[in-house]
Amino acid sequence: MKLDEIRQEVDRAAGHYYHSDLQKGIDNRTKQFVIQRCLPEVRGAHLLELGYIDGEWSRQLLELDCQSLDIVEGAQNHVEHARSTFADDSRVRVHHCLFQEFQPDRKFTTIIAGDMLRYLADPVDFLKLAGSWLEPGGRIIVTVPNGRSFHRRLGCYMKMEASPMAANQRDQEVGNQRTYDRYSLRAELEATGLEVLEVRGCFFKPLSSAQMADWQEPLLTALYEMGNELEDYCWFLYAVCRRR
């Protein structure tokens, strides 16, 4: 696919799901568990965020000892949201380009690749490139949905989907090109030459987001704790990698 076609696809996909009540509601509430799990792994003061959407990561990264935050985002509406949100923060630069077009003018201490690998044609080659943007010992933190999560497996047993790893309607709407489990994610990361420090699951999601929309915090917190016992069945995966 040519770059112009990819840009059109990015803008098309950004018109689905994102900034919806579901995404801003239950999915962002549970996403906080993933972010809070990953924040202690952030190192240094010069950060790069690959993919923006609505600033859930950005706001919390800026609360750390952050001197600069570069945001790379391909979708026009997400870029406009980012520039409006952080217009008064001189630490933030928003780059409107595809990930594969980004040409940094500095090295970074930590790169956040939040839920973006599944949109790339060749994530291994991209991560090799991104690794070169790190300072020595710098980190890349990767998050992706788990294709073998409990709720996706349950949907298959209910004959709603043919396979938990197959692209469902939401995947197709937002342009997902692949799904991951813990093992395929680790294998892909190890192929980049980065040192993989850990690959973990986070938050046990028993039902669909729509079915959980009004669940209260004590129940969500209990499901987060339960996820520590059932990581292969968790909703999200995260990995911490280091430049050798």
pLDDT (0 to 100) of residue 181: 96
CB 91 within 8 A of CB 68: yes
Residue 143's beta-bridge partner residues? 114, 238
* CA dist., res. 68 & res. 188, Å (int): 29
Name the residue ranges covered by the structural domains of the chain.
3-242
pLDDT (0 to 100) of residue 17: 65
* pTM, 2 dp: 0.93
Give Cα separations from 101 to 4, 43, 48, 107, 138 (angstroms).
12, 25, 14, 16, 21
Give Cα separations from 29 to 170, 179, 205, 235 (angstroms).
19, 22, 12, 13
**Fold observed for domain 3-242:** Rossmann fold (3.40.50)
Q: Angle at Cα 82 formed by Cα 173 and Cα 20, nearest 5°?
A: 35
CB 141 within 8 A of CB 240: yes
pLDDT (0 to 100) of residue 109: 98
pLDDT (0 to 100) of residue 103: 96
Report residues of the chain scoring pLDDT below 70.
Answer: 17, 19, 174
- The three-state secondary structure class of 77 is helix
Torsion of CA 202, 30, 86, 60, to 10 degrees: -50
* CA dist., res. 76 & res. 18, Å (int): 13
3-state secondary structure 86-151: CCCCCCEEEEECCHHHCCCCCCEEEEEEECCHHHCCCHHHHHHHHHCCEEEEEEEEEEEEECCCHH
pLDDT (0 to 100) of residue 169: 76
